[in-house]
Amino acid sequence: MSDDLAQKTEELSLESKTVFDTKEEFTAKHPLNNRWTLWYTKPQTNKSENWHDLLKPVITFSSVEEFWGIYNSIPPANQLPLKSDYHLFKEGIRPEWEDDQNAKGGKWQFSFTRKHEVTPIINELWLRGLLAVIGETIEDDENEVNGIVLNIRKQAFRVGIWTKDCDDSKLKTVGERLKKILQLKDEQKVEFWSHDASNTKGAEAQIIL
């Protein structure tokens, strides 16, 4: 060890209080404003399986610490199989259009083509989306966001934010912040589709930002 490094080591101080000082502080949890459920849609293995067979709840959590424990225990986005999905929704809301909390709403969405330069960063972007949703920084006081979805498809990764309704005045903030979270350029557009329009042939996006 050099004299300089030895001197710096001796000058280190552990006087500052940390969470390690007491059992109570070390085990403290930081609660979220809502409880959240992680869902997973597995790829279909035979034609007899329907959507309800494939969609399963994984776990529900209510604190920052629980979130990190779950996130670090599940496969990252870029390692999920094709035709699978992650869904993170407020507890009590199923990630289905038919759910009462989703029925009158829609989704902001962007698709990343599966190019080599996109694949490594999809994990980071998905994490940033998750944190914005559970931290409720994806919106102000609109209380519109029900959940976030990641679709793994052959041609693209799709990230979507699901909302309670289709009121333009409540949706703009969510769309603008999704663009920032996904690090999109000005010319890259996010689109809002009502769930009804998504099921209608020839329908167009309600909002494009």
pLDDT at site 198:
78
Q: Give the helix ranges, DSSP H, for 22-154.
A: 23-26, 51-54, 64-71, 122-134
209 secondary structure, DSSP code: -
The larger pLDDT score, comparing residue 93 to residue 170, is at: 93
Q: The whole model's pTM is what? A: 0.84
- pLDDT tens digits for 161-187? 999 999 998 899 999 999 999 999 999
What's the pLDDT score for residue 15? 45
> pLDDT digit string (tens) for 143-167?
999 999 999 999 899 999 999 999 9
